[in-house]
């Protein structure tokens, strides 16, 4: 019997974008010029771009048609009202504040909710989310379950919150010092790992007792819904659309980087059920983003987003989306390459500590590995380890995260199965020569979100 490829795409290709093939010598020169940071490579020098799934998606013919319906009025664009209604219909939230992308919403929300000295517990940090919480005066506390830090644990819901850790924090600082719990669906930094509906319901009950709201980072909520359907028995026949709605209904506020799940190239929003937060956000958005009926977005972008939200909760779309990630992950496992298991939804994460066990974490194994993969084949990936973790505000020392990962992230509806095969084969080739790989050191380290712009040189 042939192996079933049940994840095949529910779309066909209408237009293509040419890719440039490069030689190994050209790539060695390009990565040197980029300071061994894949964020600093020029896209023309990249063959298969798996740096991120953020804003790199292919829009559908319907979304492009929606672009032509852009109402570019400064105030009260009809696309805003369409988007507002879509968000209430699909995500349940009552009020919408559009922003240019996710971090715009994180900034406004953190400034409204947090007072100096507060504590924000969350199911693992995300770079921009934690930075905005810290800039507003909070201390982030990780309350994700221990299994999330173990790359070999097969726990199906490594995004779950450990309520004992939350209780411990409440006992220590008091519920009044906790403005909200920061809960992400499909935890990016844990390797795209989901939270279960059962855990979210428990979190809801628990936080209700203490009157602590839940703020939902819903950047990849539909992907989380797909994994709930695959791994939580009572949801196996429930449509993604309904699971997404139920997740959102269990939370009070949400920030969204629309560049992911909703299959657009730019956009984001803050959504809330709290009228008071909404009013404050409406006032703040005009300072930092734009009028409250467009935030940082053009009318046409809001239209494409409204259509993308509907497409993102389609079962067929999500089966292919997550199926492609799982196909790549399984190929890597077959080559014996160490990756995070279970395979997540938006990408496959290489375990750089196991891939390059001879490198100490302070010579940046994941950063080094991402550079080597680029040199091998022109495939662009990114670091999610000590460089992304940054330094502690208090001690100035590096944070040493347990997870030292290279993220291979899949844009939505962009690459084919052959691209996945080439990617897996080229990573396997690097794995074969892993013992000869040396680490990196900083030549430039920016103060904030250093992984975006830092430069390195090889250690000889």
Provide the binding-site residues for ligand PLP, judged by CB under 6 A: 54, 101-103, 126, 128-129, 184, 188, 217, 219, 257, 259, 268
At residue 406, φ and ψ (nearest 5 deg) are -110, 125
Q: Which residue has the tokens 């950047």?
A: 219
Q: From residue 21, give the alpha-carbon distance in Å to each of 29, 162, 417.
A: 15, 47, 18
d(CA 202, CA 181): 13
Does the annotation mark 61 as catalytic?
Answer: no
Q: From residue 388, give the alpha-carbon distance in Å to each of 163, 271, 346, 453.
A: 27, 27, 18, 11
Q: Is 205 exposed, middle or buried (0-12, 13-18, 19+ CB in 10 A)?
A: exposed
Provide, rounded to whole angstroms, the least separation between the CB of residue 53 and ligand PLP: 8
Of 41 and 359, nearer to ligand PLP (C-beta) is 41
Provide, rounded to whole angstroms, the least separation between the CB of residue 184 and ligand PLP: 5
Does the annotation mark 260 as catalytic?
Answer: yes
d(CA 108, CA 392): 23
Catalytic residue among 56, 86, 99, 127: 127
Catalytic residue among 53, 118, 217, 351: 217
Q: Which residue has the tokens 């659309």?
A: 241
Does the annotation mark 451 as catalytic?
Answer: yes
Does the annotation mark 74 as catalytic?
Answer: yes
Provide, rounded to whole angstroms, the least separation between the CB of residue 100 and ligand PLP: 8
For residue 235, give both structure tokens.
């949801």
Of 180 and 431, nearer to ligand PLP (C-beta) is 180
Of 403 and 424, nearer to ligand PLP (C-beta) is 403
Of 127 and 361, nearer to ligand PLP (C-beta) is 127
Provide, rounded to whole angstroms, the least separation between the CB of residue 110 and ligand PLP: 12
Provide, rounded to whole angstroms, the least separation between the CB of residue 90 and ligand PLP: 19
Q: Is 233 exposed, middle or buried (0-12, 13-18, 19+ CB in 10 A)?
A: exposed
Residue sitting closest to ligand PLP (CB): 102
Catalytic residue among 36, 80, 90, 126: 126
Of 82 and 259, nearer to ligand PLP (C-beta) is 259
Q: Which residues contact 255 (CB under 8 A, 6 or more apart)?
A: 102, 105, 106, 109, 129, 215, 216, 217, 218, 219, 268, 269, 270
Provide, rounded to whole angstroms, the least separation between the CB of residue 101 and ligand PLP: 3
Catalytic residue among 27, 260, 353, 407: 260
Does the annotation mark 126 as catalytic?
Answer: yes
Dihedral sign computed on CA atoms, order 370, 375, 376, 378: positive
Of 9 and 142, nearer to ligand PLP (C-beta) is 142
3-class DSSP state for residue 405? strand
Catalytic residue among 36, 140, 180, 451: 451
Catalytic residue among 103, 319, 384, 412: 384
- Which residues are known to be catalytic? 74, 126-127, 217, 260, 384, 451
């Amino acid at each position: 019997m042939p192996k079933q490829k049940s994840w095949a795409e529910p779309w066909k290709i209408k237009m293509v974008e040419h890719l440039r093939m490069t030689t190994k010598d050209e790539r060695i020169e390009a990565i040197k010029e980029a300071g061994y940071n894949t964020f600093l490579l020029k896209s023309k020098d990249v063959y298969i771009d798996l740096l991120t799934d953020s804003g790199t998606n292919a829009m559908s013919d319907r979304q492009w048609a929606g672009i032509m319906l852009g109402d570019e009025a400064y105030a009260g664009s009809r696309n805003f009202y369409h988007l507002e209604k879509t968000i209430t219909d699909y995500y349940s939230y009552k009020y919408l504040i559009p922003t240019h992308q996710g971090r715009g919403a994180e900034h406004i929300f953190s400034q409204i909710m947090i007072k100096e000295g507060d504590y924000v517990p969350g199911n693992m940090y995300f770079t921009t989310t934690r930075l905005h919480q810290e800039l507003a005066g909070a201390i982030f506390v990780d309350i994700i379950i221990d299994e999330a830090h173990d790359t070999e644990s097969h726990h199906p819901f490594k995004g779950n919150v450990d309520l004992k850790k939350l209780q411990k924090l409440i006992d220590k600082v008091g519920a009044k010092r906790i403005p909200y719990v920061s809960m992400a669906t499909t935890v990016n930094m844990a390797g795209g790992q989901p939270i279960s509906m059962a855990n979210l319901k428990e979190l809801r009950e628990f936080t209700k007792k203490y009157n602590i709201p839940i703020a939902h980072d819903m950047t990849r909520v539909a992907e989380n819904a797909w994994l709930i359907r695959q791994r939580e028995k009572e949801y196996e026949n429930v449509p993604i659309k309904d699971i997404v709605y139920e997740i959102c209904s269990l939370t009070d506020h949400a920030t969204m980087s629309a560049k992911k799940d909703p299959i657009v190239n730019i956009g984001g929003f803050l959504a809330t059920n709290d009228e008071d937060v909404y009013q404050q956000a409406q006032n703040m958005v005009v300072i930092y983003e734009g009028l409250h009926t467009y935030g940082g977005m053009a009318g046409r972008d809001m239209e494409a987003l409204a259509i993308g939200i509907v497409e993102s909760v389609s079962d067929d779309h999500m089966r292919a989306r997550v199926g492609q990630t799982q196909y790549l992950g399984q190929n890597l496992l077959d080559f014996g390459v160490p990756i995070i298991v279970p395979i997540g939804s938006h990408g496959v994460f290489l375990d750089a500590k196991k891939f390059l066990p001879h490198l100490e974490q302070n010579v940046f194994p994941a950063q080094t590995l991402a550079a080597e993969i680029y040199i091998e084949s022109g495939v662009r990936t990114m670091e999610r380890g000590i460089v992304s973790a940054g330094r502690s505000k208090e001690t100035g020392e590096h944070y040493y995260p347990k997870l030292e990962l290279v993220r291979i992230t899949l844009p939505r509806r962009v690459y084919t199965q052959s691209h996945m095969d080439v990617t897996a084969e080229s990573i396997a080739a690097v794995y074969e020569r892993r013992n000869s790989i040396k680490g990196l050191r900083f030549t430039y380290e920016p103060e904030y979100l250093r992984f975006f712009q830092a430069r390195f040189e090889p250690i000889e």
